[in-house]
A and B are shown apart, each in its own frame.
Chain A
Amino acid sequence: MTTPRSTPRSSARRTALGLALAAGLAFVGACSMFMRMPAEQEFGRERTSTTGLYRAVIRPDGDSIPVGKLQRWTLHLETAEGAPLDSATVSVDGGMPQHGHGLPTKPAVTASLGNGDHRVDGMKFNMTGWWVVKFRVQSAMGADSVVFNLKL
């Protein structure tokens, strides 16, 4: 009876396996990093658009954003220089990155209220946690997106 011994070949295989395992773990780590909640400063009701064209402020109806209730928000839009933006086409999207689902409703910007304010109808969140709400803004200045992170 012989005791199996480590050959150069099997140790190479083991190294390869180890490397693959490490790579796999790194990949999983990267994925969970991707799903991790953004830093505290990424939250808040005032945001600059992705490429810096616009600044936006969300004003939910009331201090806190309720769960399970259809709500109307006001979205304030201005240029990077601070000029109110009334003439813009805005669409709304969002969801929960950690859960892989979108918003439970299909909200829409329903009116321009003047002074850069826009009415957003149909906002709803059906659970607590980290939500992302994205406004796609298209105006004469160009297209850009404003992303809000919310902790409910």
Chain B
Amino acid sequence: MRRYSRLAAALELGVVAVLLFLTTASGARPAGSGRVLWTSAERATLRSLSLASLAPLPSDPSNRFADDDAAATLGGRLFFDTRLSSNGKVSCGTCHLPELGFQDGVPLGVGVGTAGRRTMPIAGTAYSPWQFWDGRADSQWSQALGPLESPVEHGGDRVQYAHRIAGDYKREYESVFGKFPDLRGLPAQAGPVEDAVRRASWDRIAPSRREEITRVYANIGKAIAAFERRVRFTPSRFDRYVEAVLARRPETPADSFSADEEAGLRLFIGKASCTNCHNGALLTDDHFHNTGVPAAKGTTPLDSGRTVGARQVARAEFNCTSRYSDAGPADCAELKYAVLEGPELVRAFKTPSLRNAATRAPFMHAGQIATLPAVLSHYNRAPAAPAGTSELKPLRLSERELRQLEAFLKTLVSPLDVPSRDSLP
């Protein structure tokens, strides 16, 4: 009996020791909550992804009006003015709908015609050295000028737009940019556009006047950019979660994560390798990658992405080194040291920010993938690229893990901070 009780006591001790060990070992899992804690390296990664780590809005030396309030107000009005188009029906806001996070939710943008790619959102793009899916513009203002003269987007031209400024915005324009040029004798429409008639009209205008018009056109872009750079992300549930983790304070219901969201975040920064490209506070490396995205239906020839974009930005009419840029030569280092050729550029497209991505179906540069689970499945399978070489490797994640990643991506959603539209028409 005594012997038995000794044995029982020893067993009991053993059980207690094992329990104690388990409790200590799962110090990462405080009893009851089932929560996992993060290592210091992981906490550093979480911090780097948090909106609190976002640097102050960078200056844009190529646009000296970027931080001018009056320019931003004018830019906001121009952004939503449908008269800046060939049919009077298309503004920037037609595809960049504020209520949809400044995008349109369709595979290909629809202006006066149908664009070749998916409309990109605007928030946070002031941080990126490259604009468009292929980076063919190197500033927000030069980006804004592309769609305005595209035959399938706004469909208009720079002389038409100069007339519009003269008619409706002259006072606001002059208060920001100085004297507006004399347009007398100019045709209603002309510009270096695809349309042969308007192009021929443009060629007949004296070079000095073409220069004046083009400067007005560049200033339209600079005003729109001054507005766009004020469209900003606000903290998401993810940011509040990271704040709580870093402060080591008990999470309140508002900033807590479900077990799936937490597991998804762990996969995101670990096994799923998402942060290879989706890194930093905006969850993008602002670079170009071939991720084996399938060709868009009915598109020929195949979109070669950065291969063409790099060539275009190097000689773009409105790039950082152009006569219309306010930058000094030392301010254009991104362009100067850009990789402009090579196999890595083939079908490489810009990494989009994952902030609000969960609300931006359909996905990829031409909306080829309809849903978020299908996007995750694409990354999991890592199919071969239709051209060039995909950088992806199969992730071998389970269905459950893919669902956890999806749950995490939904925590990156937050409203945008948008400049007041009160003064808009």
Contacts and interface: CB of A to CB of B under 8 A. Distances in A.
B337 A127 contact: no
A127 B277 contact: yes
A128 B277 CA distance: 9
6 contacts: A70-B337, A104-B285, A104-B339, A107-B337, A108-B337, A127-B277
Contacts of A67: 48, 279-280, 285
Interface in B333-371: 333-334, 336-340, 342, 344
B337 A102 contact: no
Interface residues of B, number: 20
A124 B286 CA distance: 12
A99 interface: yes
B188 to A, nearest CB: 44
A25 to B, nearest CB: 18
Given A70-B333, A70-B337, A128 B279 contact: yes
A107 B285 CA distance: 18
Interface in A50-66: none
A70 B48 CA distance: 17
Contacts, number: 54
B275 interface: yes
Nearest 5 Cβ contacts at the A-B interface: A122-B337, A126-B285, A105-B337, A126-B287, A104-B287
Interface in B386-416: 391
B339 to A, nearest CB: 5
A121 B280 contact: no
Contacts of A106: 337-340
A99 B277 CA distance: 12
A101 interface: yes
B26 interface: no
A127 B333 contact: no
Interface of B: 48, 129, 275-277, 279-280, 285-287, 333-334, 336-340, 342, 344, 391
Contact of A122 (B275, B279, B336, B391): B336
Contact of B276 (A68, A102, A124, A127): A127
A130 B340 CA distance: 24
B280 A68 contact: yes
Contacts of A107: 337
A21 B271 CA distance: 27
Interface in A95-121: 99-108, 121
Contacts of A38: none
Contacts of B391: 99-101
Nearest to A102: B344
Contacts of B342: 102
A99 B342 CA distance: 16
